Amino acid sequence: MRKLYMLLISLFVLFLLAACDEGDDASSGGDNASSDGEIVLDLWHFDPGARMEVYQEAVDRFEEKHENVKVNVLQIPNDDYKQRVVVAMSGGNPPDVFASWGGGWLEEFVDSNKIKDLTNEDIDYDRFIDVAVKNSTFDDKVYGLPLGIATYSFYYNKEIFAEHNLEVPETYDEFLNVVDVLKENDVYPLALANQPKWPGAFYLMYFADRLGGEDVFQSAYRRTGGGFDDDAYVQAGEYIQDLVERDAFNPGFNGIPYDSGQGRQLMYTGEAAMMLMTSGFVNNVREEFPEFEEKMGVFGFPVIEEGNGDPSNISAGVSPVWSIYEETDQSELAVELIDELTSVETAQGYVDKSSTPVAVKGVELKDEYVSIFTEWINKANSIQFPYDQTLPPELGELHKNTTFDLFGLEVTPEEAAESMEAEAKKIFGE
Amino acid sequence: MAINNDMILLEEQKKRTRNKSLTILLFLLPSLLVYLAFILYPILATFNYSLYDWNGMGDKVFIGLENFTTLLSDSTFWTALKNNLYLVLVSVFVQVPFGLIMAIVLLSKIRGKKVLNVIYFLPYLMSSVAIGLLWVFMYDPVKGPINQFLNIFGIESVHWLASSNMAIIAVLIVLVWQFAPFYMILFKASLVGIPEEQYEAAEIDGANGIQQFFYITLPSLMPTIVSSSILAVVGSLKTFDMFFIMLGGGSGSATEILGTYMYRQSFINFNMGYGSTIASMMFILALLSTVIILFTDNNRQKRSGLK
């Protein structure tokens, strides 16, 4: 009898293991054909609202051209998105086409041979802004097509500025003067919701760029002589802590999440006068508090006179970047789909609805903000993409953590720079 | 003859027990299958992954116990573990007693018990995401009700979620608020089960309320206290959601807990192997503490002659 139990149990265990193994095999690769011969493509992205509509319109156009093809669009919120894609790529059922931010995150998938090389596909690369395509080019091969470029700049409240006879600061000294005057008049000079860490990281990026120029990051990242312990980084940390010590920010900024909107509320209510944010802020204003738009103005990051950076340099993030899963059964269709998702027509919709410039040339600019942002991009001597999206994920994460701690006055600029460089050495193997 | 008869009877009995166990086993099979597939297999797989250098997609490189040795010299791991230990202490020594007090209040002879019952239990019914967001607004450094309340008494605003020490305390307060009702329910159930006669007898013997509590209520509740403690310890070792929601997955490494650190390593930093090592460590720690609690309780029962 006991033998029978053992037999039963081992049979079930065997069955189970077999089932697990089978699961692993069956789930890789897209099972694109559904029962009635219709071809199905899965598309994942992370943008809600107006941008989601723009992608849907592009998908509709694509489906019209291909009668027998259906595209399943799945929008997954930002925080969840990265995890879902990693899990899908590692064993689940990855989407045929998906959005990312290019940079180090995408490169991680490229290194694991999960992303299709688009270099020699039938795509008109001339329509893209070069620097944006570089963001998804690794070893001279293109792995993603960019659509939007969100520029990072200061938004300010014109009413408050007029009330205190302040002018838009062009140099950093003028900027500090604005901060001091606002402070004296009990207005928070700068609104900051730094819990997700990227809003604060914008300051570090801009300071390092204005102080040392774009080469500081490039030579640290490409390991061509520079490092993340460069003087410019130490100084950038000092500038950040100087602002914190001046009480330039709203109190408790390191504990305020960005998405829940408390940071933006400070701007809307006039409690804070300026905010360094992505171009997506314009859309937030229009959706959340349209009355604010008439008071709102924008200006680029001020020039630091003793720094070496080109004042036309801007920081911006490319998003979305459309890529294709390497082992998709429908690679031709997928290429056509991402071609449509980055077509001039799609880009036009994106510009009109999202207040964000595009990486595609030949669109008509109707929105005043997009016109300003696009001019900055066109004039820029160099565009700095956010570190956390460019660097290998581990280093990007450390960059956000050390910058967060700089804002919290929990580390010194030297310590932050040194721990970045130590990790960089470990990752790049030097 | 008699012996033979007995033998046959014994045989029959044995057969019947066998048949019974077979039926039991068959009934257990479906749940056993689910258990094997969704609990045991993932645990074993996690231990397996923890031996590899793996980004979650590409080739796995077997590196033996290297992940574990790295983990033991990883300062973030120790910070996370320390934070988890705070969590364990608060769960066992604040959450569980709070639950007990609430249960006793609800079973005492006071007015408005029904209202209190609802109020006490409400936090446990809400989803963690909703609670997290709610408290983020409560803790807002400028407009949060908590700081405004403090300001009335002339106390300066506290930047609850901004500094790492304060942030942990802030989240712990929320966790106590959220989970104390769960222990309250457990205690309520076992308080009802204590025979009324014991209290009556104690009263006749002249025991006052406090004596009754320490000599009747508390000893009778011991099994519940032990199981609550196990739940509290294991629960706080593997917790994730509230820290992730309120602190954005560990604001700076100072507020990292094991759960968020595992998440960050596995899904953000592409270190699936290392993340699995952290998960395995969490499993080992939870198992160890459960064994220790059960062992101590066993000793206690032996000493007091219950076994």
Predicted ipTM of the assembly: 0.81
Q: What pLDDT shows up at residue A27?
A: 38
Task: Choose which CATH entry (3.40.190.10, 3.40.640.10, 3.40.50.300, 2.130.10.30) describes domain A39-148+319-342.
Answer: 3.40.190.10
3-state percent breakdown (helix, strand, coil) of chain A, nearest 5: 50, 15, 35
Measure CB to CB from residue B162 to each of A87, A253, A266 and give the nearest one.
Answer: A253
> Cα separations (Å) of A195 from A401, B162, B250?
10, 8, 9
> What is the rounded CA–CA span in Å between residue A240 and residue A244?
6
* Residues 6 or more apart whose Cβ sits within 8 Å of residue A298: A153, A154, A155, A156, A369, A372
Chain B contact for A270, CB < 8 A? no
- B22 contacts in A (CB within 8 Å)? 1
Q: Give me the pLDDT at residue A25, please.
A: 39
Beta-bridged to residue A72, according to DSSP, are A42
Alpha-carbon distance of A334 to A323, in angstroms, equals 9
How many C-beta neighbours within 10 Å does residue A260 have?
16
Maximum alpha-carbon separation in chain A: 94
Contact B251 A255 (CB under 8 A): yes
* Of A108, A197, A408, Cβ closest to residue B55: A108
Nearest by CB to B251, which of A265, A394, A404?
A404
Q: Which of B33, B142, B252 sits opposite A410 (nearest CB)?
A: B252
pLDDT given for residue B302 in this prediction: 86
CA of B106 to nearest chain A CA: how many angstroms apart? 37
Q: Do A197 and B141 touch (CB under 8 A)?
A: no
- Does the beta-carbon distance from A257 to B137 stay under 8 Å? no
User: Cβ–Cβ contacts within 10 Å for residue B171, how many?
Assistant: 26
- The answer to whether B252 contacts A401, with C-beta atoms less than 8 Å apart, is yes
Find the chain B residues whose C-beta atoms sit closer than 8 A to any C-beta of A.
Answer: 18, 22, 25, 29, 32-33, 36-37, 41, 55-58, 133, 136-137, 139-143, 157, 159-164, 167, 247-248, 251-254, 263-264, 266-272
Q: Do B41 and A86 touch (CB under 8 A)?
A: no
Which class for B109: exposed (0-12), middle (13-18), buried (19 or more C-beta within 10 A)?
exposed
Beta bridge partners of A153: A277
| pLDDT of A126 | 93
Distance CA B160, CA A135 (A): 38
Interface test with A, best of B73, B137, B270, B272 (most A CBs within 10 A): B270
Q: What confidence score (pLDDT) does residue A157 get?
A: 97
Q: What is the nearest CA distance from B24 to chain A, expressed in angstroms?
A: 12
User: From residue A50, how far is each of A281, A316, A354 by CA, in Å?
Assistant: 13, 20, 6
- DSSP, residue by residue, B9-23: HHHHHHHHHHHHHHH
Question: Which of A376, A169, A350 lies closest to A274 in space, CA to CA?
Answer: A169
In whole angstroms, give the CA distance from residue A13 to residue A8.
9
Strand partners, B52: B62
What's the fold here for domain A151-316+386-428?
A: D-Maltodextrin-Binding Protein; domain 2 (3.40.190)
Chain B residues within an 8 Å CB radius of A108: 55, 270
For residue A259, the chain B residues in CB contact (below 8 A) are none
Whether the bond into A320 is cis, omega within 30 of 0: yes
Q: What is the 3-class SS of A278-295, one letter each residue?
A: ECHHHHHHHHHCHHHHHH
Residues of chain B with pLDDT under 50: 1
Element (H, E) at A146: strand A145-146
In B, minimum Cα distance to A110 occurs at B58
User: How would you classify the pairing of strands A149-157 and A272-278?
Assistant: antiparallel
Confidence at residue A313, expressed as pLDDT on a 0 to 100 scale:
95
Q: What CATH number was assigned to the domain covering residues B66-303?
A: 1.10.3720.10
Distance CA A353, CA A309 (A): 33
* Contact yes or no for B157 and A252 at CB 8 A: yes
**CB contact at 8 A, B302 and B283:** no
pLDDT in tens, chain A (430 residues): 556 565 555 555 555 454 444 444 333 344 455 556 789 999 999 998 889 999 999 999 999 999 899 999 999 987 789 888 988 988 778 999 999 999 999 999 999 899 999 999 999 999 999 889 999 999 999 999 999 999 999 999 999 999 999 999 999 999 999 999 999 999 999 999 998 899 999 999 999 999 999 999 999 999 998 999 999 999 999 999 999 999 999 999 998 988 888 899 999 999 999 999 999 999 899 989 999 999 999 999 999 999 999 999 999 999 899 999 999 999 999 999 999 999 999 999 999 988 899 999 999 998 999 999 999 999 999 999 999 999 999 999 999 999 999 999 989 999 999 999 999 999 998 6
| pLDDT number for residue A295 | 94
Contacts of A89 in chain B (CB under 8 A): 56-57
Please list the residue range(s) of chain A that carry CATH number 3.40.190.10: 39-148+319-342, 151-316+386-428
Instruction: Say which residue the tokens 């950076």 belong to.
Output: A309
The torsion of the CA quartet A249, A200, B263, B282, rounded to 10 degrees, works out to: -50
Looking at beta carbons, which residues of chain B come within 8 Å of A408?
162-164, 252
- And the tokens for B43? 């645990």
Structure-token match 């009355």, residue found? A291
Residue B249, pLDDT score: 57
Beta strands in chain B (DSSP E): 52-53, 61-62
The answer to whether the Cβ–Cβ distance between A16 and B248 falls below 8 Å is: no
CA–CA distance, B52 with A7 (Å, rounded to integer): 33
CA distance A165 to chain B (A): 26
For an interface test with A, give the residue of B55, B60, B151, B242 to mutate (most A CBs within 10 A).
B55
A100 with A106: CB under 8 angstroms? yes
Taking CA–CA distances from A92, the nearest residue in chain B reads B57
B159 contacts B142 by C-beta, under 8 angstroms: no
